Amino acid sequence: MPEIAEISRIVHYLKKHAVGKTVEAVKTQEDTIVYGKVGTSASEFEKAITGKKILDARQQGKYFWLVMDSAPHPLMHFGMSGWMKFNNDDSAYYRPAKQAEEEWPPKFWKFVLQLKEEPKSEVAFVDARRLARIRLIDAKAEDMRKTTPLKENGPDPVIDKDILTVEWLSKKLRSKKVPVKALLLDQANISGIGNWVGDEIMYQARLHPEQYSNTFSDEQIKRLHDAIMYVCDTAVELLAESDKFPQDWLMKHRWNKGKKEPSKLPSGEKITFLKVGGRTSAIVPSLQKKTAAVAGDVSEGAEEDESEEAETKPKKGAKRKAPAVKETEEPGAEDVKPVKSQRARTKVEKVKEESEAEDEEEDAAPVAKKVKKATNGAVKKVKKEAKVDVKSEETNGRRRSGRLSK
């Protein structure tokens, strides 16, 4: 997923090729998810942008927007796989395509802006997985960050240094009891930190990502704050070009997961992987030590009070229980035995996977809510198929009510 550094790269290209130019024409493709889920349509976007001049491009975390010469202004979020391409310059931050081989408009485009002034250029928003969001914000340019969804997101580590101080971070960490990396990934706390940036921050701070946020000392919080600023500033300054990242960064050495040769730092320390906040996290155990309670150390009773983001582990030696499908009572179904359905389990697992994919997208519902909804729906369907006819009827002098009476 594009994070704070990747968004800074797109803003850089927009300032280079689009700012100061007039939108001569707009091509759009209707998409009831990318536009529709945030209350916009492709036709409304086309009408609102055509003929306007682009005055600036700005960013807050994973969001970015174009400042037009009049409202509304388009606000965008890439989701998992969105990106923006330019017909005269390759904006890719990895595996750049040869311009001669690049088709135009590119695959999976949602809109294409045709810019008027010389040198003429075109800008395309693309998204293969349809998890991106494009909306129009009817507000003054200076008030954009005061509107939804930007105002619900936390401070940006690069542009909001006056807010995201050591004292602010200390209060935030100690006001919650969740794995520290899960707290960093929550955009309501801090804008722009995603999975790889979060891992790099925890590594540079030499802190364990599973450790509870309210267990860190003042010295550890200062290290975490320094790491947040260092990693975000450096990645943004280098426009997400990983080849230019410092050689001692975890980002440079973490890509052997699942291969015969394990990932290692140049110094020989092994890189391992675990789940934190529903995301796979890279960690160097020899350097990132636990210094207090982590999510896997709490008792079952304590787990109930934790955030949904806390990833818990079974006790040592205990068998992992499969998630139970909760049965709901229905009139007349008291004699129907619960039916364990493979379809129900499969559907729940599928929803969990989809929820993880959208876990950082602003419109995604919490995982637990989606799973519960899917589970209840699956159970109802199974019980409908298995349900015995409970209508009372007389048959050969015997009464049938869910089962034959003796």
Ranking 66-70, 109-113, 349-353 by mean pLDDT, the lowest is 349-353
pLDDT for res 257:
74
Residue 262 confidence class, pLDDT cut points 50, 70, 90: confident
Q: Which residue has the higher pLDDT, 340 or 98?
A: 98
Residue 295 confidence class, pLDDT cut points 50, 70, 90: confident
pLDDT for res 369:
47
Mean pLDDT calculated for residue range 309-335: 37
Residue 93 confidence class, pLDDT cut points 50, 70, 90: confident
pLDDT digits (tens, 9 = 90+) for 181-210: 999 999 999 999 999 999 999 999 999 999
Radius of gyration for the alpha carbons in the chain, expressed in angstroms and rounded:
26
Is the confidence at residue 310, as pLDDT, over 80?
A: no
What are the residues whose beta carbons fall under 8 Å from the beta carbon of 155, sequence distance 6 or more?
Answer: 163, 164, 168, 190, 191
Is the confidence at residue 342, as pLDDT, over 50?
A: no
pLDDT digits (tens, 9 = 90+) for 109-146: 999 999 999 999 999 999 999 999 999 999 999 999 99
SS3 call for 154: coil
Instruction: Tell me the C-alpha distance between 293 and 141, whole Å.
Output: 45
Is the confidence at residue 40, as pLDDT, over 60?
A: yes
Mean pLDDT calculated for residue range 322-335: 34
Is the confidence at residue 161, as pLDDT, over 60?
A: yes
pLDDT for res 378:
54
Mean pLDDT calculated for residue range 67-86: 97
pLDDT for res 27:
98
Q: Which residue has the higher pLDDT, 98 or 200?
A: 200
Residue 392 confidence class, pLDDT cut points 50, 70, 90: very low
DSSP string, 3-51: -HHHHHHHHHHHHHHTTT-BEEEEEE---TTTTGGGT--HHHHHHHHTT
Q: Which residue has the higher pLDDT, 404 or 276?
A: 276
Share of the chain above pLDDT 70, in %: 70
Report the half-sphere exposure of 368 (CA within 13 A, side-chain side): 7
Ranking 237-241, 249-253, 331-335, 392-396 by mean pLDDT, the lowest is 331-335
Is the confidence at residue 9, as pLDDT, over 70?
A: yes
Average pLDDT value for the chain: 80
Is the confidence at residue 324, as pLDDT, over 70?
A: no
pLDDT for res 134:
98
Mean pLDDT calculated for residue range 308-334: 37
Residue 231 confidence class, pLDDT cut points 50, 70, 90: very high
Token pair of 400 as six digits: 């049938």
Mean pLDDT calculated for residue range 345-364: 44
Q: Which residue has the higher pLDDT, 133 or 310?
A: 133
Ranking 61-70, 243-252, 301-310 by mean pLDDT, the lowest is 301-310
pLDDT for res 387:
47
Is the confidence at residue 31, as pLDDT, over 80?
A: yes
Helices (H), 260-386: 300-303, 342-357, 367-386
Mean pLDDT calculated for residue range 285-302: 74
pLDDT for res 96:
59
| Cα distances (Å, whole numbers) of residue 232 to 86, 87, 183, 184, 197 | 25, 29, 16, 12, 7
pLDDT digits (tens, 9 = 90+) for 355-371: 444 444 444 434 344 44
Instruction: Tell me the C-alpha distance between 392 and 236, whole Å.
Output: 71
